[in-house]
Amino acid sequence: MTRGMQAKVLGMLPRSVDAVVIGSGPNGLVSAIALADAGWDVLVLEAADTFGGAVRSTESDGWISDRFSSNYPLGVASPVLRALELEKFGLRWAYAPLPLVHLLDSEEGTSAAIHPDPEATAKSVGADHPGDGEAWLRLYQQYVAIREPLLKALLTSWPPVGPGIKLVRKLGSAGELLRFARFMAMPMHRMGKELFEGPGGPALLAGNSLHADAPLSGAVSGTMGWLLAMLAQDVGYPVVEGGSGGLSGALVRRAERAGALLVSGTPVAAIEVSSGRVTGVRTASGETVVVGRAVIADVSAPALYGELLPNATIPAGLRRDLDERFEWDYPTVKLNYRLSGPIPWRSTDARTAGVVHLGGTADELVHLSADLDTGRLPSQPFLLIGQTTKSDPTRSPEGTEAVWTYSHLPRGIADDESAEKLAHRMERAIERYAPGFSDLIIDRDLQRPSDLESGNAALGLGAVGGGTMQLQQQLIFRPTIGLGSPRTFVSGLYLGSSAIHPGGGVHGACGHLAARTALRDASLIGPLTRTLPTAALRHLQR
């Protein structure tokens, strides 16, 4: 029995601690580990009965289902998670023979595939246009050259001064820096046209871009597609052996080894504030824990500012921004299948892929993206499909297949009826590319946006990214007008969820940044690091 379980059974919480972390998603657990490693007395309070947030899995009758997130290229590549050496705490990654396949044509079975070997990927991308294969290799070589400082700049610091300087040095000149900045700002559709002549390369970028919610003709959507495509080539699209809960379990064990106390089944009802500083938290059962140094909230921005903080303390500008300008990402509809055998894809490559993108060419996906942004339910939806048994044979009984797929509803539409309609279109889409799929279904489990939100309160309206990833809600605009850091207008209170930079994804960066900021603010130089930023935030948000 863990200390957290013991505390829950005995009905006791500490009267005071150095820090409370609200929520036990990957970001919250990373925060707890960093603070406990620094010698702080840390308490993690989780509302659900199990730890992990949206990184959870269930097992029944030999079938394992990832309930929310599943494939983790960012998890493998993240400098934050790598530094924790979670393999020593039971984490095991599992890989399919092919990381990713994008299906292009339902009748001919054509596709573009990312193979473990970049040369094999180049052959697939350049099947119709050999020059596209060479372009892929150049693109990947350029990524490899800047990979380390780029990932550190994105995931380990804010503002990214040190890693940013190293990135500039890797690029080599002011001209190359400007070219890279232009490249990162490009819409996906334009990026694909500049890089490739044929359909394969642009489709791979477009499919990966649609993991986020930036319109494919909008600024920075190219960056999202490029980065995920490069990660697929670099580290693959792995799952956690035995279910995604294995990642959360490793983080929990690492946090407990560091000395953190984790308590589940204990919702926090309020964060207490006095004279502009956080002083404690109050649970739904009425217990109060006094906080000496910091509270880190691994919750959504609306939950922090709309539910947990005293309403009278919220600056008027911040309240108005959240009410009128904060935007969730696309609502998600997820189907989980138990199949009697492998999906009979027309595409040979898709039969061995861990992840399949279904949706056609980049041009077709641009039209679909426009539907989502203009309130139209796509007649031919884009599907992200995880063939988890392909990566991890422990996910289902021998000879069977555990598969999930998700797609998105238009922005602002999250009702159950629309979710059911989209689910039927998703199944018809798979049948088009894999005739006979429907005959294999043993069991079908639909997760509507309402189901996702009830399963994890941070997934507002079924959005899985903590808020839109579009430029107007990134960096200093995330979650609203601010400084882009985890700090809030309350001294000692930090937002450490995907609601802050760098946003959604299982990488631990948001929790790392929150803990790093809290540690710095509590240090000898704290008066210098926290006073002016906190005052600036209060001024911006008043």
CATH architecture under which domain 3-56+245-327+465-541 falls: 3-Layer(bba) Sandwich (3.50)
pLDDT at 301: 96
CATH of segment(s) 93-239+330-455: 3.90.660
CB atoms under 10 Å from CB of 6, counted, come to: 12
| Collapsed DSSP state (helix, strand, coil) of residue 444 | strand
Task: Quote the crossing angle between the two packed helices 161-171 and 174-185, to the nearest 10°.
Answer: 110
Identify the CA nearest to 447 among candidates 65, 48, 49, 59: 65
Identify the CA nearest to 55 among candidates 69, 36, 45: 69
Residue where the block lists tokens 């790598």? 82
pLDDT at 202: 97
Domain boundaries, the chain: 3-56+245-327+465-541, 93-239+330-455
pLDDT at 540: 87
308 close to 488: Cβ distance less than 8 angstroms: no
Question: How far apart are alpha carbons 112 and 125 in whole angstroms?
Answer: 6
pLDDT at 11: 57
Q: Are 3-56+245-327+465-541 and 93-239+330-455 equal in CATH topology?
A: no
What sign for the dihedral angle of Cα 333, 336, 339, 343?
positive
Per-residue pLDDT in tens (0 to 9) along the chain, 542 residues:
444 444 444 458 999 999 999 999 999 999 999 999 999 999 999 999 999 999 999 999 999 999 999 999 999 999 999 999 999 999 999 999 999 999 999 889 999 999 999 999 999 999 989 999 999 999 999 999 999 999 999 999 988 899 999 999 999 888 999 999 999 999 999 999 999 999 999 999 999 999 988 899 988 899 999 999 999 999 999 999 999 999 999 999 999 999 999 999 999 999 999 999 999 999 999 999 999 999 999 999 999 999 999 999 999 999 999 999 999 999 999 999 999 999 999 999 999 999 999 999 999 999 999 999 999 999 999 999 999 999 999 999 999 999 999 999 998 899 999 999 999 999 999 999 999 999 999 999 999 999 999 999 899 999 999 999 998 999 899 999 888 899 999 999 999 999 999 999 999 999 999 999 999 999 999 888 888 888 888 888 88
